[in-house]
C-alpha cells in the first residue's frame, strides 16, 4: 500500500515461489507490502514488511572530485591530477 493513500491494493495474482517484481510504483512514495501463503486449504494471515520502503532511483549523482593539482608542466602542456569523488 502507498503510505500516502493508506489503501491496500492487490498487485498480482497468486504465484508459485517466493519472489515477485512489483511495477507501476511512484518515485518518492513509501510503500508497505504484505504477503500471504495460499494452498488448497486456504489463505494464511498476511505478513507485513518491517518498515515502509521508499521508491527512488538507485543511482545518484556523484560527489565533487578532489581539488585538481599540478603534477608537471612545461611551456606546451600541463599535467593535473585529482582524487575521485
Predicted local distance difference test score (pLDDT) of residue 5: 85
Indicate the length of the chain as a whole number: 85
If you average pLDDT over residues 5-21, what whole number do you get? 89
How many CB atoms are located within 10 Å of the residue 53 CB? Answer: 15
Predicted local distance difference test score (pLDDT) of residue 33: 95
Predicted local distance difference test score (pLDDT) of residue 81: 97
Rounded to two decimals, the pTM is 0.63
Choose among 80, 82, 79: nearest CA to 67. Answer: 82
Domain range summary for the chain, segments of one domain joined by +: 1-60
pLDDT tens digit string along 44-69?
999 999 999 999 988 888 899 999 99
Amino acid at each position: 500500500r502507498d503510505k500516502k493513500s493508506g489503501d491496500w491494493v492487490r498487485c498480482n495474482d497468486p504465484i508459485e515461489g517466493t519472489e515477485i517484481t512489483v511495477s507501476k510504483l511512484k518515485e518518492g512514495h513509501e510503500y508497505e507490502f504484505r504477503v500471504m501463503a495460499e494452498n488448497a486449504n486456504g489463505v494464511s494471515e498476511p505478513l507485513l514488511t518491517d518498515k515502509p520502503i521508499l521508491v527512488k532511483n538507485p543511482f545518484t549523482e556523484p560527489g565533487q572530485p578532489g581539488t585538481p593539482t599540478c603534477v608537471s608542466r612545461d611551456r606546451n602542456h600541463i599535467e593535473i591530477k585529482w582524487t575521485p569523488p
